[in-house]
């Protein structure tokens, strides 16, 4: 059972202050930058062009015993997506420093979008710069109590993914500082495993959403119609590039189509009250008159 404690926040009054009161679209860069800041900046350029609200990276501490054991770090790592001969060296190639993430944060802001990271361990959380506006906890670490305490200590809004976990809204008292995302940890996720209706079980928090690894963008439109206020999708410059995340990512054009579609759905949702719009009266007068002539 996934359990989330209360979140203290001294900077923002609610997560809506981060999301600006609409569906907040996050483009996950992840490891698709392949450990190169220059490529990460190109991905941020693509995010800005697509019109997303935020680009997001990931941060892990690779010191022995924090996230990985020595045996795990020394494990041979072979295959078409390996960047080094052992898993530890592979992760080192893909890992950006906090100073590099700060550079990307500042660059993203110069392009008019936000930037943040998913923190994978308490050490990374404790080192997060103060000017990052919110923090993400990935599905793989959602049940790590020490990490949850560390992110709460940051006094920032927290968004957490729920892949590989079950959810009961009794586990999380209503909090205006917490966003919870439905997620299925399959890459890519078959459509029948996305489970959009599971968002309805997360009403114990102020902000629900979807972290998706599916193909296409129709599911994202449906998520918004069902009440998602945060959408997260991976982004890549080319889905054929080397790396495990590219296949479940959107290319820039697809990301832009997603953003445009989300904004159209938001506009179309309109009012909960049935109403007569300007111009309808004239139209109905004409159509009803024609109907009476039949």
Question: What proportion of the chain, given as a percentage, has pLDDT over 90?
Answer: 66
In the predicted model, what is the mean pLDDT of residues 264-289?
Answer: 90
Structure tokens at 249: 């990512």
List, as own/partner pairs, every contact residues 254-261 make where C-beta atoms lie below 8 angstroms and the sequence separation is at least 24, other chains included: 254/217, 255/27, 255/46, 255/47, 255/50, 255/52, 256/49, 256/50, 256/51, 257/217, 258/25, 258/50, 258/217, 258/220, 258/231, 258/233, 259/25, 259/50, 259/51, 259/52, 260/51, 261/217, 261/220, 261/221
The answer to which of 16-25, 44-53, 109-118, 258-267 has the lowest mean pLDDT is: 16-25
Model confidence, pTM: 0.91
pLDDT-derived band at 14 (thresholds 50, 70, 90) equals confident
The answer to which of 2-11, 132-141, 224-233 has the lowest mean pLDDT is: 2-11
pLDDT-derived band at 13 (thresholds 50, 70, 90) equals low
pLDDT-derived band at 17 (thresholds 50, 70, 90) equals confident
At 235 the pLDDT is 96
pLDDT-derived band at 294 (thresholds 50, 70, 90) equals low
pLDDT over 70 at 5, yes or no: no
Average pLDDT score, the chain: 89
pLDDT over 80 at 231, yes or no: yes
At 173 the pLDDT is 44
**73-117 pLDDT per residue, tens:** 999 998 889 899 999 999 999 999 999 999 999 999 999 999 999
Backbone angles phi, psi at 208, to 5 degrees: -110, 165
**244-253 pLDDT per residue, tens:** 888 889 999 9
pLDDT-derived band at 51 (thresholds 50, 70, 90) equals very high
pLDDT-derived band at 178 (thresholds 50, 70, 90) equals confident
Distance of CA 144 to the CA centre of its chain: 19
**107-152 pLDDT per residue, tens:** 999 999 999 999 999 999 999 999 999 999 999 998 898 998 999 8
Domains and CATH numbers, the chain: 16-60+95-293 (3.20.20.70)
């Amino acid at each position: 059972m996934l359990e989330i404690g209360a979140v203290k926040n001294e900077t923002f009054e609610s997560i809506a202050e981060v999301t600006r009161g609409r569906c907040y679209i996050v483009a996950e860069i992840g490891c698709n930058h392949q450990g190169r800041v220059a490529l990460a900046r190109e991905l941020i350029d693509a995010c800005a062009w697509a019109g997303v609200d935020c680009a997001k990276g990931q941060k892990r501490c690779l010191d022995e015993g924090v996230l990985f054991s020595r045996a795990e770090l020394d494990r041979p790592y072979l295959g078409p997506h390996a960047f080094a001969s052992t898993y530890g060296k592979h992760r080192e190639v893909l890992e950006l420093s906090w100073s590099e993430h700060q550079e990307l944060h500042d660059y993203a802001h110069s392009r008019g979008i936000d930037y943040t990271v998913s923190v994978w361990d308490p050490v990374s959380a404790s080192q997060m710069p103060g000017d990052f506006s919110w923090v993400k906890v990935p599905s793989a670490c959602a049940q790590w109590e020490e990490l949850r305490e560390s992110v709460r200590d940051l006094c920032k809004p927290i968004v957490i993914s729920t892949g590989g976990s079950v959810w009961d809204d009794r586990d999380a008292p209503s909090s205006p500082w917490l966003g919870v995302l439905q997620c299925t940890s399959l890459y890519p996720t078959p459509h029948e495993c996305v489970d959009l209706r599971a968002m309805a079980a997360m009403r114990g928090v102020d902000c629900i959403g979807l972290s998706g690894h599916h193909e296409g963008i129709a599911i994202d439109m449906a998520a918004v119609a069902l009440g998602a206020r945060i959408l997260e999708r991976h982004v890549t410059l080319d889905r054929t590039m080397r790396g495990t995340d590219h296949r479940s990512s959107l290319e820039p054009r697809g990301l832009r189509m997603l953003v445009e579609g989300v904004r159209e759905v938001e506009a179309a949702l309109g009012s909960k009250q049935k109403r007569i719009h300007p111009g309808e009266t004239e139209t109905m007068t004409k159509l009803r008159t024609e109907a009476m002539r039949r």
